[in-house]
C-alpha cells in the first residue's frame, strides 16, 4: 500500500512538472505571437514598444478570460472599460485558438516585478 501511494505521488509530481513545462512553452509561443503580430506598435512590455499602452502587470490585473476577450473582442471590452484610446484596438479574429491561447499564457506571465 505504501509503495502504491509513493507511485501515485511520483506520477502527480511528474504530471505537475509536465504541466509547468507546457505552460512555459505556451508562454514562449505567445511571446512569439506577440512579436509576429507587431503588438509593440501599440503596447509595451518591460519598456520595449509603445509606452502609451504598457502591458506590464496585465497578468496580475486581468483574468485569463478577460485577456482573451481583449484579444478577440477588443471593441466590446473597450466599451465596457470606457477606454477611449486612439486608435482603438481591433479584434484579432484571424488568430487561431492555439495562437490566442499562447498569447493569453504569455500575457498572464506579465505580473510586474
Q: What letter would DSSP give residue 12?
A: H
pLDDT digit string, tens, across residues 68-88: 999 999 999 999 999 888 888
Give the pLDDT score at 8.
Answer: 44
Record the cell numbers describing residue 85, joined without a space: 484610446
Predicted confidence (pLDDT) at residue 106 exceeds the cutoff of 90: yes
Sequence ranges of the domains in the chain: 27-108
Residues 71 and 92 sit within 8 Å (Cβ to Cβ): yes
Record the cell numbers describing residue 41, joined without a space: 506598435
Can you give the pTM of this predicted structure?
Answer: 0.76
Higher pLDDT, 3 or 77: 77
pLDDT digit string, tens, across residues 9-57: 444 444 444 444 555 679 999 999 999 999 999 999 999 999 999 999 9
Peptide bond into 7 cis (omega under 30): no
Question: Comparing C-alpha atoms, which of 44, 108, 96, 45 is closest to residue 72?
Answer: 96
Residue 112 binned pLDDT confidence (cut-offs 50, 70, 90): confident
Higher pLDDT, 110 or 8: 110
Predicted confidence (pLDDT) at residue 1 exceeds the cutoff of 80: no
Task: Quote the CA–CA distance of 40 and 34 in Å, as a whole number.
Answer: 8
> How many residues in total does the chain contain?
113
Q: Does domain 27-108 have CATH number 1.10.760.10?
A: yes
Residues 30 and 104 sit within 8 Å (Cβ to Cβ): yes
Task: Quote the CA–CA distance of 45 and 34 in Å, as a whole number.
Answer: 10
Amino acid at each position: 500500500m505504501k509503495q502504491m501511494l509513493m507511485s501515485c505521488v511520483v506520477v502527480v509530481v511528474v504530471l505537475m512538472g509536465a504541466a509547468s513545462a507546457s505552460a512555459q512553452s505556451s508562454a514562449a509561443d505567445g511571446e512569439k505571437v506577440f512579436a509576429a503580430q507587431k503588438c509593440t506598435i501599440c503596447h509595451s512590455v518591460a519598456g520595449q514598444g509603445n509606452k502609451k499602452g504598457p502591458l506590464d502587470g496585465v497578468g496580475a490585473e486581468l483574468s485569463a478570460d478577460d485577456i482573451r476577450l481583449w484579444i478577440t473582442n477588443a471593441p466590446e471590452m473597450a466599451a465596457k472599460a470606457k477606454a477611449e484610446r486612439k486608435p482603438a484596438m481591433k479584434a484579432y479574429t484571424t488568430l487561431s485558438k492555439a495562437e490566442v491561447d499562447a498569447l493569453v499564457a504569455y500575457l498572464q506571465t506579465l505580473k510586474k516585478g
